Chains A and B, each alone.
Chain A
């Protein structure tokens, strides 16, 4: 099966997910939700995997932390990867762990040459332990930090050259960061190494309760915005078919609504493969 648009899997959607006839449908799960030895949730994931291609998306490796990735956590991720044979494995350009404290969030850092070396080392360690290439996702940014030495697109491109990792482009994150930090999202997209992109994420955002539109929050709790769809349409015209995930982690709607949203992405992907003017 050729994968086109997929959906972030939620256990409450299991029955509908495996019964769906949608062409090109696939699913993605957060690795950490399945690092539960013996849990019935793993049996459910096995049934899902039998029905559809699966992507495993980690949130806890803390690749942009100065510590090396935790070997125990990497071992659990490797176990999931060997058991479920995902067609993609991805993580974030962010940190969440410092010593014994884990912050369940994706935290920013100054993009320095030092950080580039450290993140590259951490990706090398992860790829070595997993025995495969990982995709690294661009973060949502909320505020300027002191000490950046390069733009994010350049940082990501250099990582792909140094480590062989590929990229997961989250277009909602690009829109959110561009809005919050005042850059042009199209310029950012144009600066990315197109050939390194292997997956796209789409999600909805919310407005900060105090600052409103000046501060967009990557909340994954709303439908995808028009602005993000527009960026996506333009982008996939350049990439052609590209596995695209609809993410929804809050205010989770019925499965049929997510199927409708992924149908839009699937439609834009087919247009991108066979343009109307061809």
Chain B
């Protein structure tokens, strides 16, 4: 007579080994159990990484996710955040060489997934900021809302990801091979990925590090003497990604 704990261990071991079972677990229908928990995790990855799947095709994506699932079982029934390690996993796989921007696209898609379930919060009002006297403006401290991320990629992942949002554009794509920067934010219920230049990314990161606007502007100007601070501030404010501290 099997005791429940012993039965569960035997069943779970067989599922995790992803092989044929022994005794009653050698039944051909055991394949349903073997497949379905893995499929639930693969489905969660498909939902979070649609462009990664488009880039490599469903066969290669199936192999990638199958390996990922084997190496990364979950400990909780809440699957919304599954795939946190997929970008790093891609970097360690042969895909890193054949599709060198894939890990960055995965990183970008995970940022999008991550902010999907963060709380709503109002961003700073651009009109209010515009009306501040110079002294107050310099001292203003901004940080990101919960549903926003500043992203830096070594590859043109933002251009590639954006091309995959518009059917028909992918074939014509030949992005310049350079680092790219973006603000990923959900505002008014819509998630947007805004490409920004590196001076704007530097400015945003200075704000996140706690610098008030004036100090962030000085830091950026010293690194990028040509930086247009008014344009940078306008991009930061219109992104809807920042709130007043």
Contact = CB atoms under 8 A, between A and B. Distances in A.
Interaction A to B: yes
Interface of A: 32-33, 35-41, 43, 59-60, 64-66, 73, 95-98, 100-105, 107-110, 112, 114-115, 118, 142-147, 149, 180, 208, 210-211, 215, 217
B230 interface: no
Contact of B189 (A32, A40, A143): A40
In this complex, which of A32, A73, A107, A109 has the most chain B Cβ atoms within 10 angstroms of its Cβ? A107
A43 B12 CA distance: 37
Nearest to A33: B80
A142 B31 CA distance: 9
A102 B75 contact: yes
Given A32-B78, A39-B118, A107 B33 contact: yes
Which 10 interchain pairs have the tightest Cβ spacing? A60-B77, A38-B119, A104-B40, A39-B117, A143-B29, A105-B37, A143-B27, A103-B37, A142-B29, A66-B5
A38 B120 CA distance: 8
A110 B2 contact: yes
Contacts of A149: 1
A73 B76 CA distance: 9
Given A110-B7, A142-B33, A143-B29, A102 B23 contact: no
Given A32-B78, A98-B12, 4 more contacts: A40-B119, A66-B8, A101-B75, A103-B73
In this complex, which of A33, A105, A110 has the most chain B Cβ atoms within 10 angstroms of its Cβ? A105
A73 to B, nearest CB: 7
A108 B11 CA distance: 9
B153 interface: no
Contacts of B40: 104-105
A109 B4 CA distance: 7
A54 to B, nearest CB: 19
Contacts, number: 118
B212 interface: no
Interface residues of B, number: 40
A143 B11 contact: no
Interface in B1-57: 1-5, 7-9, 11-12, 15-16, 23-24, 27-33, 36-37, 40-41
A54 B234 CA distance: 45
Contact of B77 (A39, A102, A210): A102
B79 interface: yes
Contacts of B75: 100-102
Given A38-B118, A118-B4, A143 B78 contact: no
B4 A115 contact: yes
Contacts of A95: 8
B123 to A, nearest CB: 15
Contact of B3 (A36, A114, A142, A143): A114
A38 B117 contact: yes
Contacts of B27: 143-144
B100 interface: no
B231 interface: no
In this complex, which of B7, B12, B23, B189 has the most chain A Cβ atoms within 10 angstroms of its Cβ? B7
Contact of A112 (B2, B11, B73): B2
Contacts of A65: 4, 8
A59 B78 CA distance: 10
A98 B12 CA distance: 8
A183 B120 CA distance: 52
Contacts of A146: 2, 23-24
B164 interface: no
Contacts of A64: 4
Contacts of B77: 32, 35, 59-60, 73, 96-97, 102, 104
